[in-house]
Structure 1
Amino acid sequence: MEANKSMVKLVAFLIILVSSCFQSLTAQDLEIEVSDGLNVLQVDYQGVTKESWPELLGTPAKFAKQIIQKENPKLTNVETLLNGSAFTEDLRCNRVRLFVNLLDIVVQTPKVG
């Protein structure tokens, strides 16, 4: 009976792990095709800065970090966290958290806070 419960937990964990990998593999393939010609539009409006980056979903964390720092240089703390890991809930105006999967692909919309 104990062995069956352990086996069910293991199978459930493996299904979640495998499904998250397949979703991001397709996003990673799309990013590779598009990123070669990607230009960042820079518009200068006094006091207005970008606070979220939905277009970075499915991109590698290293690429996302570069784009975020280029578009908003005031963000001095861009940190990468494994999706589902524990983190503090304090708000900081100089921080963006990149939630990634095991393949280091962004799986949540990055935003300031």
Structure 2
Amino acid sequence: MASECQGKSSWPELLGAQARVAVVTIETQNPYVDTQVVLEGTIVTGEFSCTRVRVWIDRNRVVTRVPVIG
């Protein structure tokens, strides 16, 4: 599905980064998406969206999963 979306779709280089750095990087590199910072363990909906990137973080605000469009 990500191939149908516009712009960059994955940010493996942000694994382990601070949340604020990840958000700015993602929104700069792909202006078609909005980011959602989500604490690990939070329940989220499962539907796919080309305009959303979830940034999963731990309690120290460190990115714990590779951010991807979805």
Distance in 2 of aligned mates of 1:48 and 1:109: 18
Aligned identity (percent) is 35
Provide the residue aligned with 2:29 in structure 1: 71
Q: Counting helix residues as a fraction of each chain, which structure ranks higher?
A: 1
What is the TM-score of this pair, normalised by structure 1?
0.56
Per-residue CA distance 1:44-95 (angstroms, 9 max, x = gap)? xxx96210000000001110000001100011x2001111210000111000
What is the TM-score of this pair, normalised by structure 2?
0.88
Provide the residue aligned with 1:62 in structure 2: 20
Larger radius of gyration: 1
Q: Which has the higher contact order (CA 8 A, sep 6+)?
A: 2
Runs of 4+ residues over 2 Å off in structure 1: none
- State the SS of the aligned residue for 1:64: helix
Q: Counting strand residues as a fraction of each chain, which structure ranks higher?
A: 2
Q: 1:104 aligns with which of 37, 61, 64?
A: 61
Question: Relative to structure 1, is the Cα distance of residues 48 and 81 closer, same or farther in structure 2, using a 3 angstrom cutoff?
Answer: closer
What is the Cα-based RMSD across aligned positions, in Å? 1.4
Distance in 2 of aligned mates of 1:70 and 1:54: 15
Q: How many residues align?
A: 66
